[in-house]
């Protein structure tokens, strides 16, 4: 089961879904860092990774830039896949939340009606 799998949100508690999403984001950023900045010895936040890659690209001679650009395109593709999966998961959770809210409202209304004396009772 993967992030974005509709069965995941039906079968997993929200904490598990969030933990899996965070783990996937961490793995994707680590893979991106390994691809683009293999010399970095500690995990970098996305903003710092972006800043260092931009600085590295600017410092490269023109003839070496196409290789790094290709690596950046691969990384962007992977990150876009992560964003798409996370958005699908978020949409699924939002749908579930709306359903729970609707069911809760209906149950509350039913409870109120059940406690109210009926007009048909004498």
pLDDT tens for the chain, 122 residues long, are 444 444 444 555 667 877 888 888 889 889 989 988 999 889 998 899 899 999 998 999 999 999 988 988 998 898 888 888 888 888 888 888 888 888 888 788 888 888 876 655 54
Question: What pLDDT does 2 receive?
Answer: 43
Kindly state whether residue 100 falls inside one of the protein's structural domains.
yes
Kindly state whether residue 94 falls inside one of the protein's structural domains.
yes
Angle ∠(100,103,106) on CA atoms, nearest 5: 150
Kindly state whether residue 71 falls inside one of the protein's structural domains.
yes
pTM of the prediction? 0.59
Owning domain of residue 39: 6-115
Kindly state whether residue 104 falls inside one of the protein's structural domains.
yes
Kindly state whether residue 120 falls inside one of the protein's structural domains.
no
Kindly state whether residue 1 falls inside one of the protein's structural domains.
no
Kindly state whether residue 60 falls inside one of the protein's structural domains.
yes
> What residues contact residue 7 under an 8 Å CB cut-off, 6+ apart?
1
Dist CA 109 CA 55 (whole Å) = 60
Question: What pLDDT does 120 receive?
Answer: 53
Kindly state whether residue 48 falls inside one of the protein's structural domains.
yes
Question: What pLDDT does 42 receive?
Answer: 92
Spatial contact of 82 and 23, defined as CB atoms under 8 Å apart? no
Question: What pLDDT does 62 receive?
Answer: 93
- Please state the domain count of the chain: 1
Question: What pLDDT does 8 receive?
Answer: 47
Task: Determine phi and psi for 14, rounding to 5 degrees.
Answer: -55, -35
């Amino acid at each position: 089961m993967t992030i974005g799998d509709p069965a995941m949100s039906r079968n997993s508690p929200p904490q598990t879904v969030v933990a899996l999403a965070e783990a996937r984001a961490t793995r994707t950023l680590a893979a991106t860092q390994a691809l683009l900045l293999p010399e970095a010895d500690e995990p970098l936040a996305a903003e710092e990774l972006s800043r260092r890659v931009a600085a590295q690209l600017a410092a490269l001679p023109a003839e070496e830039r196409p290789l790094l650009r290709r690596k950046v395109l691969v990384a962007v593709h992977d990150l876009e896949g992560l964003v798409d999966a996370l958005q699908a998961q978020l949409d699924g959770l939002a749908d579930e939340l709306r359903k729970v809210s609707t069911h809760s409202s209906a149950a509350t209304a039913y409870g109120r009606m059940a406690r109210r004396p009926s007009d048909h009772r004498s």
